[in-house]
């Protein structure tokens, strides 16, 4: 079935924003990654960039993450050392509904 012929065009997430941890200083709390992804799904301009996160509190405050979103991993690596934060890579993953 073609995604274009689906009557639920609003309910059709072709793009799935996922976050890959580049350097981890803590273990994931259950559900925290899912909520990050949900919030980042509206930040399409952040896809393909790196994202600095300073702990679980930043899940609730994505503005803190937006401030540190950038293309340069080296730049974020310096910030990570100063802030002791975790660097994430934000990528776009394509999940076709009709995957064989």
| SS3 (DSSP) at 92 | strand
Q: How far apart are CA 16 and CA 61, in angstroms?
A: 21
3-state secondary structure of 41: coil
Question: What whole-number distance in Å separates Cα of residue 47 and Cα of residue 95?
Answer: 16
Spatial CB neighbours of 75, under 8 Å, sequence gap ≥ 6: none
pLDDT at position 57 is 44
**Which range has highest mean pLDDT (10-19, 67-76, 82-91)?**
82-91
* Domain locations in the chain as residue ranges: 15-94
Average pLDDT, the chain: 51
Q: Which residues pair with 91 in a beta bridge?
A: 18
Q: Which of 47, 71, 51, 49 is nearest to 59 (CA)?
A: 51
- What digits encode the pLDDT tens for the residues 40-53? 555 555 555 555 55
């Amino acid at each position: 079935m073609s995604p274009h012929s689906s009557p639920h065009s609003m309910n059709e997430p072709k793009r799935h924003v996922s976050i890959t941890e580049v350097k981890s200083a803590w273990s994931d709390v259950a559900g925290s990654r899912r909520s990050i992804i949900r919030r980042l799904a509206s930040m399409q301009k952040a896809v393909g960039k790196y994202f600095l996160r300073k702990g679980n509190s930043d899940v609730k405050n994505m503005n803190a993450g937006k401030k540190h979103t950038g293309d340069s991993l080296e730049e974020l690596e310096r910030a990570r050392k100063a802030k002791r934060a975790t660097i994430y890579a934000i990528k776009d993953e394509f999940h076709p509904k009709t995957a064989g």
